Copies of this chain bind each other. A is one copy, B any other.
Amino acid sequence: MDRTGILFVISAPSGAGKTTLCKAVLDKVEGLQFSTSYTTRRPRKGEIEGKDYFFVDEARFKADVAEGAFIEWAEVHGNLYGTSQQQLHRLTSEGVDILLDIDPQGAMNLQKQSEDAVYIYILPPSFDILKKRLLMRGADSPEVVEKRLQKAGDEIRCYHRYQYLIVNEDFEVALENLESIIRAERVKMREKYRAWVEERFIHLL
């Protein structure tokens, strides 16, 4: 069958476990790749250039914005994040499905122009657990945690504009749900399957 890659857009408030879930599903599902975003944020400990993010300075980022290089971009916690149009189109045209981990602001920008993408929102099971996970992370100062918590409110307000809602209470269940969404979307009925069916069942049609 004709196979153009599907774009899976995943968002969550900080502390929902999105990054761990994304890494696990990439290990489990064949033909799925992570889209590496561009950001002006400083690398966190252990983050790898070109894998976790492309780390660029603000001047370079703004020049790329001016050139229309990003299919979506947004400012989050004072840093800029963007998704390369070229990278995305190259992979999907090769039939690779893409996992795009972006914040709701970026996702909403993308929704305006790309109706084909699949939008998935991940929630922690409760506010208390969200807060605990943010405090346990330890990589950021208490002020940053507080700011993130406020930001989480803004982010959660968008959840109903996504097509799927995964509550990350039990990690294995959440992972199975995410995997199922990807496999199910791959067998969704599409107009382009018509040629495939007609060719095979011409004796009956």
Question: Does residue A66 face the partner (Cβ distance < 8 Å to B)?
Answer: no
- Contact status B204-A159, CB under 8 Å: no
Count copies of this chain in the complex: 2
| Residues of chain B with a CB closer than 8 A to A180's CB | 179-184, 187
Interface size for A (C-beta < 8 A) is: 43
Interface string of A151-190 (1 = CB under 8 A from B): 0110011011011111000000000110111111111111
Chain A interface (Cβ within 8 Å of chain B)? Answer: 13, 121, 123, 125-127, 130, 149, 152-153, 156-157, 159-160, 162-166, 176-177, 179-191, 193-194, 197, 200-205
For the complex of A and B, the 8 pairs showing the least CB-CB separation, nearest first, are: A180-B183, A184-B184, A153-B204, A180-B180, A180-B184, A181-B184, A177-B187, A127-B203
